[in-house]
Amino acid sequence: MIGTVLGNRYELLEKVGVGGMAVVYKATDRLLNRYVAVKLLRSEFQGNEEFIRRFNIESQAAASLSHPNIVSIYDVGQSEDRHYIVMEFIEGKTLKQYIAEKKGTINWKEACDIAMQICSALEHAHSKHIIHRDIKPQNIMINTENVIKVTDFGIARAASGGTLTMEAMGSAHYLSPEQARGGYTDQRSDIYSFGVLMYELFTGRLPFDGETTVAVAMQHMQAEPVRPSKIKEDLPKCIETIILKAMSKEQRLRYESAALMLTDIKRAYLDPDSAAQATDLEEDEKFGTKKITPIVSITLPGGDGTEQGSKNVVRRTEEDRIKKKKDNKKDIIAVVAAIATCIVVAIIMGVIVMSVISTPAETETYQMPNVKGLSEAEMTKSLKHLREEGFEIEEVYEYDRNVEKGEVIDQEPKMGEIEKGVKIVITISSGKEQINLDDYTGTPAEEAIEALENLGLVVKTSQEMSDEVEEGEVVRQLPSEGHVLETGDSIRLFVSSGPNKFELDNYVGSDVAEAQAELESQGVVVTIAEEHNDTVPKGIIIKQMPNPSSVMMKGSQVTLTVSLGIEIITVPNLTDLTVDAASDALTNNKLKLGTVTEISSGKAKGLIVKQSIAEKTTVQANTVVDVWVSKGNETAPETPAVETPVVQQTPNSAITSDTGL
């Protein structure tokens, strides 16, 4: 299929993924000159109406969603009975690959950031009444900028769609109990699968595993997972609580919505010591033990002296009998006290009831709207009627890197009926926190990193030789002291490696100007090499020599190979050439010969009459050019020749006359 053009627009370049239902290709959109991903329904399913239906469901479901953490759908089509979907091309890797690479070493705050992006995508999908039903790290992409993209809505259905059979459901390791049973599924089924994904993300391990799909599914229905904190001891308690609530066997015990779960994850990220608003799953309640009196088995004789059977009895000691007598006396005293208490309580209740009967009153209730996600102005408008009714409304402002400034983060009480006089608290985002950067030069690197991460900054480090600053301390920082940053911004610390050596960083994927300046500041001689690349933007480093982590000294040489971007080729003139000559001309110009079509023409047979892309047009390398070749004129049958009589003439000099004068 490589080189095939779908819909006269999408040229398939390379295969990038294979699923149970479709094959995914990287392709070029010839019209918009950009890379796209094309999901092509596998050929063996072309006649299968169920698979075609599910394929169409994916395109319809995903196309109705517009969210930064959900892959965008650009186009759908059909070419020669092959159904395809055109979508955003993600340059990166699957979350499954990322987790495998990290081997359980993902920092819990980084995992929280990933989880919040996925949960935000689920919240958006569920708000459109779309349930994914196959949430797993294989269906989640993480691009080079660490932005999450949820993909593959191949078995998504409307939230009112009801039950689906197990064979149409998600992968076994992330399957909810109701999916395993073939029961009713709703948005809480996605939440369970997301809980399993979070378990793996935070611990590096799956909660359930087995030799067969059935064995894994049975564990989802019956077994309890090992607590995440027993795998990762530094995992905050509130994160564990969120994961275990999402993975509750019963749907009613899970989060009602992805929005509520997202609120808890955000709270845990900002304040891990706080208790997340989730079901309390304490160790002693869920996995606790209870001490019991020992039971012994004795054999009872029959009437004829033979063994009639056995019976389990509790063996009591003398100490037990004395204790029982004391307990009996205590029981009598307790009964008397209870009777007396009941009489007093009855009298008090009687007085209260009479008071209520004599002065009847009704509790006035109002409707609290849902203002979460609204702007400040929209929220004020929605709560205007409650303010006019005398409700106290307190507005609390909090920094939040994931919620736009001025947008409502949370509300208390939630949407529903509220009584007169209840205080309403609205939490509004102040956007990202503004941080006035201090000077960390001369500070031990570990202390500086901890302080900066506590401020919500992303810290990157590089080693740098220094004769003045001790090894392990900060030599300098970018940006410098006094700069104002926001939470989530990056800062780079240059850490002293001592006077003579340092460890080379990985500059692949970095801007060449920044990398060159940084290396030259460390006394390194930088050589720049350039080459064209179809996937790496111009000016970005493709590779480096020596490799990262190499020990460098002042005066060492580093070669950086930089992308020139996509190579642009000028199409040559192919007319009047033979097909072989045209093929050579295109190959020499890094282009490809496409379809060759014969047509009638006045040109000699075998010569090219026209080409699909005009000469001197600029295109990308490897572009395909189609040609039309002359097969000569269509000639009519030959007409017999007609003889022409020959007339002999006598030369003038030979004319004579028979008459005389």
Q: How many CA atoms lie within 13 A of 126 on its CB side?
A: 23
For residue 239, pLDDT over 50 is answered with: yes
304 token code pair: 């004829």
CATH of 365-429, one of 3.30.10.20, 3.10.450.100, 2.40.40.20, 3.40.50.2300: 3.30.10.20
Structural domain boundaries in the chain: 5-88, 93-282, 365-429, 443-563, 568-630
Which one has a higher pLDDT value, 656 or 225? Answer: 225
Write out pLDDT tens, residues 50-71.
777 777 766 676 677 888 899 8
Would you say 25 and 40 are in contact if contact means Cβ atoms under 8 Å apart? Answer: yes
Would you say 6 and 79 are in contact if contact means Cβ atoms under 8 Å apart? Answer: yes
The one-letter code for the residue type at 605 is: K
pLDDT for res 160:
41
For residue 180, pLDDT over 90 is answered with: no
Nearest residue to 363 (alpha-carbon basis) of 436, 417, 434 = 417
**Stretch 399-403: mean pLDDT:** 80
5-88 in CATH: which number? Answer: 3.30.200.20
Nearest residue to 173 (alpha-carbon basis) of 214, 112, 126 = 214
Please, which pLDDT band fits residue 211 given cuts at 50, 70 and 90? confident
For residue 159, pLDDT over 50 is answered with: no
pLDDT for res 340:
59
Rounded Cα gap, residues 267 and 270, in angstroms? 5
Looking at every residue in the chain, the average pLDDT score rounds to: 79
**Stretch 244-248: mean pLDDT:** 96
Fold of 568-630: Trypsin Inhibitor V; Chain A (3.30.10)
Count of beta carbons in the 10 Å neighbourhood of residue 78? 12
**Stretch 389-396: mean pLDDT:** 87
Q: Please report which helix (H) or strand (E) contains residue 450, including its range.
A: helix 445-454
φ, ψ of residue 74 in degrees (nearest 5): -95, -35
For residue 363, pLDDT over 50 is answered with: yes
Which one has a higher pLDDT value, 424 or 497? Answer: 424
Please, which pLDDT band fits residue 168 given cuts at 50, 70 and 90? very low
**Would 93-282 and 568-630 be classified into the same CATH topology?**
no
Model confidence, pTM = 0.44
Q: In terms of C-beta density within 10 A (0-12 exposed, 13-18 middle, 19 or more buried), how is residue 562 classed?
A: buried
Which residue shows structure tokens 């059909």?
78
pLDDT for res 354:
54
- Quote the distance between the C-alpha of residue 393 and its chain's center: 37
The fourth-level CATH superfamily of domain 93-282 is: Transferase(Phosphotransferase) domain 1 (1.10.510.10)
Any idea what DSSP says for residue 31? T
Write out pLDDT tens, residues 506-530.
999 999 998 998 888 888 899 999 9
Rounded Cα gap, residues 217 and 249, in angstroms? 12
Q: Please report which helix (H) or strand (E) contains residue 501, including its range.
A: strand 501-503
Which of 131-145, 335-349, 555-569 is the least confident region?
335-349
Given its phi and psi angles, is residue 555 left (phi above 0), alpha (psi -120 to 50 degrees) or beta?
A: left
Write out pLDDT tens, residues 284-301.
334 333 333 343 333 334
3-state secondary structure 286-327: HCCCCCCCCEEEEEEECCCCCEEEEEEEECCCHHHHHHHHHH
pLDDT for res 444:
93
128 token code pair: 């459109």
Q: CATH top-level class for 443-563? A: alpha beta
pLDDT for res 610:
93
Buried-exposed string 135-162: b where 16+ CB fall within 10 A, e elsewhere = bbbbbbbbeeeeebbbbbbbbbbebeee
By residue count, the chain amounts to: 661
Percent of the chain at pLDDT exceeding 70: 78
**Stretch 214-222: mean pLDDT:** 88
Q: Is 511 a catalytic residue?
A: no
Q: Which of 134, 152, 400, 410 is catalytic?
A: 134
Write out pLDDT tens, residues 407-427.
999 999 888 888 887 889 999
